[in-house]
Structure 1
């Protein structure tokens, strides 16, 4: 299929809705521009974008490429993704909000093409969305297999029971670990080597709850049944064992409140240099 025909087919069969169509249309334009700039990579861009008829199809293909294994054939993974997306339109909304978050928050990202094809944080997050759907629908062995495989291949370990909101950004992502009873709301940004861990072997809620718009800096460890309030910031390398009020900045070992956040949603602004609080 040539690029012109692929583009016409994609826009004719793409999912309805302005945001959906705009993202898929942009991906097609970006892939065509990439081929013009680096024609030796044309096969990659056809296989990754132009040979597909929707953003979902292109993403499923890329994710399957990353984690397929003799224990889990590509056909089984594709079927699981398509079943989940058909049953839960919220997955598609989450995918689109996540890729938009990467483009808006990562200054190193200039195209939708980059997270779709290359960014393991985006890939790990979308694979978790499938694992969470499987977990909620009784396919727990399949969900745990995906968790294990993503941890092995992408170095991101999220328990499939964890509910994750929309507009999430995992920057770099290597070493992120999120335990079973954690909760992550919308528009949260988490950098590499962050742990949302438990504090013991008790049952029930034992991991942090991360509210809307939170920013968690690289290497931070948040431990136990605590709440990080809406719009809060956690400094890089901090160890947080107590709840953080909304719109406060915490840093240190152990973390302490060092000031307010400069905006309503630091998870969107990505302000990690704390000049506003004297650091």
Structure 2
């Protein structure tokens, strides 16, 4: 369900949005890899036996494992684990696309993050993955009209992971949220598939304007650490935003910008900088 406030969209700004249209993932095969790796770790690290048995080895699917992991992380006095676990399980069981999205995010992390050795690691240890998964739960609830519960999960993610994503924001699949701390996304923001985002990035609005007032991030964009993108600006497909930049205007596809305010410094060397994760600003000259 879309918010009734969202009535002032800039003409043409959100047409042909690609949300979760990237290549599919073999979820059962991925789950098998995760279980196999968990079994190997149990043999070597007995201190992790309880965690691995609870989250992975005693579960029968990726959705069940994800629900259990999030319940362990998000439990608080106002909602216990005994309450959270069946709620989250029910959500993942009722919406297979949530599990598919999580699988695509895991694969993106394995492929792009040099510090990730297996698909088990994001599920157990990477707060960026857990934060984006919590957002997907809150977005699901928002779409069902359960907005108070959606906002509750948003607040939990902010408290636990230091990541604040409004449940109404629209985010695609294959997202790498690296390190994640202080990542902020406003209500009407759109992030397409296969985007990579470093810590302390803000996709925010300006002033008190209502309606569609947050950025659109197209597929393949790489957002460097500390980048701030403000207002209903569009980052074109394959753009690269330098670390610490403040973006206040549209960025053309396959263009690299940097600075405060951000200025064009060249054309991206890669078709999809998000996949290469090269944050250097050495670009081929524009012709």
Q: TM-score, normalised by structure 1?
A: 0.90
Distance 1:138 1:178 in 2: 20
What SS is found at the alignment partner of 1:177?
A: strand
1:87 equivalent in alignment to 2:122: no
- 1:277 deviation in Å? 4.6
SS at structure 1 position matched to 2:114: coil
| Higher RCO structure (Cα 8 Å, ≥6 apart) | 2
Cα-to-partner distance string for 1:191-233 (whole Å, 9 max, x where unaligned):
0000001011111111100011110000000000100011111
Task: Answer whether contact 2:71 2:88 (CA < 8 A) is retained.
Answer: no
| Distance of 1:88 and 1:229 partners within structure 2 | 30
Secondary structure of 2:265's counterpart equals: strand
Residue in structure 1 matching 2:44, options 20, 37, 43: 37
Match of residue 211 from structure 2? 204
Matches for 1:170-249 after TM superposition, within 5 Å: 170-249=177-256
User: In 2 relative to 1, CA 36–79 (structure 1 residues): closer, same or farther, beyond 3 Å?
Assistant: closer
Is 1:64–2:71 an aligned residue pair?
Answer: yes
Q: Distance in 2 between matches of 1:143 and 1:28?
A: 30
Aligned residues: CA RMSD = 1.5
- Structure 1 runs (4+) deviating above 3 angstroms are none
Partner of 1:26: 33
Q: Does 1:101 align with 2:119?
A: no
Task: Supply the distance in 1 between the matched residues of 2:105 and 2:25 (Cα, whole angstroms).
Answer: 16
Task: Check conservation: 2:256, 2:283, Cα contact below 8 A.
Answer: no
Secondary structure of 2:264's counterpart equals strand
Shift of 1:264: 1.5
User: Whole-Å Cα distance in 1 between the matches of residues 210 and 267 of structure 2?
Assistant: 34
